[in-house]
């Protein structure tokens, strides 16, 4: 809890006081799972790259570690950090990607009606597409866009998703396939593909989801975040086998 408060109010910890403020230190903290440290160090750098890493780190901490009472505040902070990354460098694709991710995770905390009222769906798509406009080969942005299409189609149905948001199943599939092509060794790719398939239709796409989950599990985790992804893939596969969805 204290580390979260330090990040939110900008109070330097002993690491900051000793002058260890570099992107390498932030990345090391991220890889080791010290996400609030990574966020603090990244933000202190005052650079677009640092803000983007800070946004990513805080978003992951909020989504996977923080208690429910903390998630909203932390994700709003992550959204703000991503916007700082974009303000510092509008051509930083990572900044736009992290904005899409942070808004997406924030949307999960407020429910469908709350997210719709805040225009989150439009903002997520805009941010992901901005990232791809800058860097068409950014695999994670293709994944974000794929999940966006899949979740909307799965929630609203093909017709309403297309009419209201221009979301399409075929675009979800194309985005997932492109992400796998660009980053075949990424654990996130097949996991997000599987979750997208289950969002579209748990029954129809069950075998494809199982294939992707097994693929994700078979890819070695490279850092603490991918350890979370690994655990999620195992849990989702167990649920799929036990309940069929």
pLDDT digits (tens, 9 = 90+) for 100-120: 999 999 999 998 888 888 999
Q: Would you tell me how many other CB atoms lie within 10 Å of the CB of residue 133?
A: 12
Domains 1-134 and 137-245 share a fold: yes
| Cβ proximity of 145 and 121 under 8 Å | no
Q: Where are the domains of the chain?
A: 1-134, 137-245
Mean pLDDT over 73-101 rounds to: 99
Q: Tell me, which fold does domain 1-134 have in CATH?
A: 1.25.40
Tokens describing residue 148: 């966006």
pLDDT score of 201 more than 70:
yes
CA pair distance 219, 9, nearest whole angstrom:
38
The pLDDT of residue 245 is: 60
Report the CATH number of the 137-245 domain.
1.25.40
Tokens describing residue 131: 């990232």
Mean pLDDT over 43-72 rounds to: 98
**Half-sphere CA count of 209, side-chain side, radius 13 A:** 25
DSSP state of 185: T
What is this structure's pTM?
0.90
CA pair distance 60, 82, nearest whole angstrom:
13
């Amino acid at each position: 809890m204290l580390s979260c408060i330090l990040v939110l109010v900008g109070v330097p910890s002993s690491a900051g006081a000793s002058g260890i403020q570099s992107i390498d230190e932030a990345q090391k903290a991220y890889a080791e799972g010290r996400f609030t440290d990574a966020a603090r160090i990244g933000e202190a750098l005052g650079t677009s790259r640092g803000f983007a890493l800070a946004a990513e780190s805080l978003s992951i901490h909020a989504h996977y570690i923080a208690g429910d009472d903390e998630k909203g505040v932390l994700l709003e902070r992550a959204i703000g950090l991503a916007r700082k990354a974009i303000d510092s460098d509008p051509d930083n694709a990572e900044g736009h990607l992290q904005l899409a991710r942070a808004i997406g995770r924030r949307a999960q905390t407020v429910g469908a009606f709350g997210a719709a009222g805040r225009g989150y769906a439009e903002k997520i798509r805009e941010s992901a597409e901005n990232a791809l406009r800058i860097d068409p080969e950014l695999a994670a942005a293709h994944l974000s866009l794929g999940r966006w299409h899949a979740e909307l189609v799965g929630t609203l149905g093909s017709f309403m998703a297309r009419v209201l948001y221009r979301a399409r199943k075929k675009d979800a599939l194309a985005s997932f396939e492109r992400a796998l092509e660009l980053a075949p060794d990424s654990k996130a790719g097949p996991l997000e593909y599987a979750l997208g398939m289950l969002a579209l239709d748990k029954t129809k796409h069950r075998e494809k989801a199982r294939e992707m989950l097994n693929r994700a599990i078979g890819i070695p985790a490279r850092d603490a975040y991918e350890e979370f992804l690994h655990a999620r893939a195992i849990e989702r596969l167990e649920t799929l086998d036990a309940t069929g969805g």
